[in-house]
Amino acid sequence: MAEKNVTLVSEFLLIAFTDCPEWGLPLFLLFLSIYVISLLGNAGMVLLIRVDGRLHTPMYFLLGHLSFVDICYSSTIVPQMLAVLLQRGAALSYTCCAAQFFLFTFFGSIDCYLLALMAYDRYVAVCRPLLYVTIMTEKARWGFVAGAYGAGFFSAFVRTVTAFSLSFCGNKIDFIFCDLPPLLKLTCGDSYTQEVVIVVFAIFVIPACMVAILVSYLFIVVAIMRIPSAGGRAKTFSTCASHLMTVSLFFGTLIFMYLRDNSGHSSQEDRVVSVFYTTVIPMLNPLIYSMRNKEVKESLRKVLERAELY
Q: Domain of 231: which CATH number? A: 1.20.1070.10
Q: What is the pLDDT of residue 268?
A: 66
Query: pLDDT grade, residue 258 (50/70/90)?
Result: low
Please indicate, yes or no, if residue 310 is contained in any of the structural domains.
Answer: no
Residue 152 has pLDDT above 80, yes or no: yes
Query: Is the separation of the CB atoms in 220 and 210 below 8 Å?
Result: no
Q: What is the pTM of this model?
A: 0.87
| pLDDT tops 90 at residue 139 | yes
Is 108 part of any domain? yes
What's the pLDDT score for residue 264?
A: 47
pLDDT above 90 for 176: no
Residue 278: what pLDDT? 83
CA 257, 261, 262, 264 torsion-angle sign: negative
Instruction: Give pLDDT tens digits for 236-247.
Output: 887 788 888 888
Q: What is the pLDDT at residue 4?
A: 46
pLDDT given at position 127: 92
Q: Specify the higher pLDDT residue, 24 or 156.
A: 156
Asked whether the beta carbons of 262 and 216 are under 8 A apart, the reply is no
Check pLDDT > 90 for residue 276.
no
Is 289 contained in some domain? yes
How many other β-carbons are positioned within 10 Å of the β-carbon of residue 243? 24
Is residue 1 situated within a structural domain? no
Q: Is residue 25 part of a domain?
A: yes
- Structural domain that includes position 127: 11-304
Task: Convert the chain into a string of H (helix), E (strand) and C (coil).
Answer: CCCCCCCCCCEEEECCCCCCHHHHHHHHHHHHHHHHHHHHHHHHHHHHHHHCHHHCCHHHHHHHHHHHHHHHHHHHHHHHHHHHHHHCCEEEEHHHHHHHHHHHHHHHHHHHHHHHHHHHHHHHHHHCHHHHHHHCCHHHHHHHHHHHHHHHHHHHHHHHHHHCCCCECCCEECCCCCCHHHHHCCECCCCHHHHHHHHHHHHCCHHHHHHHHHHHHHHHHHHHHCCCCHHHHHHHHHHHHHHHHHHHHHHHHHHHHHCCCCCCCCHHHHHHHHHHHHHHHHHHHHHHHHHHCHHHHHHHHHHHHHHHHC
Give the model's pLDDT for residue 292: 65
Summarize the confidence of residues 43-49 as an average pLDDT: 90
Please determine, for residue 203, whether its predicted confidence score (pLDDT) is greater than 80: no
Tell me: pLDDT of 110 over 90: yes
Total number of domains constituting the chain: 1
Tens digit of each residue's pLDDT (9 = 90 or more) over 69-101 = 999 999 998 998 888 888 777 888 889 999 999
Could you tell me if residue 74 is inside a domain?
yes
Residue 261: per-residue pLDDT? 53
Q: Determine, yes or no, domain membership for 3.
A: no
Tell whether 145 is covered by a domain: yes
Q: Which of 14-23, 56-65, 97-106, 144-153 is the least confident region?
A: 14-23
